[in-house]
Copies of this chain bind each other. A is one copy, B any other.
Amino acid sequence: MMTTLPVTANSDHELLAGASRRARELTEPLLRDAVERLGPSLAGIGAYHFRWHSRDPAATGKAIRPTLALLAAEAVGAAPSDALPAAAAVELVHNFSLIHDDLIDGDVLRRGQPAVWKEHGVSAAILLGDALHSEAFEILLGRGGPSGAAAAARLAAAMREVVVGQVEDIRFTERPWTGEQAVSVAEYQAMAEAKTGALLGFSTSAGALMAGADASTVECFDRLGRHLGLAFQCTDDVLGIWGDPAATGKPVLGDLREGKKTLPIIAALAADVPASARLVSLVGAETRTESDLRLAAELIEEAGGREFAEREAMRHLTGVTDCLVSLAMPAEIRASFEALAQSLIGRTR
Residue numbers of A with Cβ under 8 A of B are 37-39, 41-42, 96, 100, 103-104, 122-124, 126-127, 129-131, 133-135, 137-138, 141-142, 148-149, 152-153, 155-157, 159-160, 163-164, 166-168, 170-171
Contacts and interface: CB of A to CB of B under 8 A. Distances in A.
**Chain A's interface: helix, strand, loop or mixed, by majority?**
helix
Contacts of A137: 137, 152-153, 155-156
Contact of A160 (B37, B122, B123, B155): B37
14 contacts: A100-B127, A103-B122, A103-B126, A104-B126, A104-B127, A123-B170, A127-B163, A130-B130, A130-B159, A134-B156, A137-B153, A137-B156, A141-B156, A142-B156
B141 A159 contact: no
Nearest to A149: B149
A169 to B, nearest CB: 10
A191 to B, nearest CB: 10
B167 A42 contact: yes
A104 B127 CA distance: 9
A149 B141 contact: yes
A137 B140 CA distance: 12
B163 A131 contact: yes
A118 to B, nearest CB: 15
Given A100-B130, A104-B122, A126-B103, A156 B138 contact: yes
A156 B157 CA distance: 16
Nearest to A171: B41
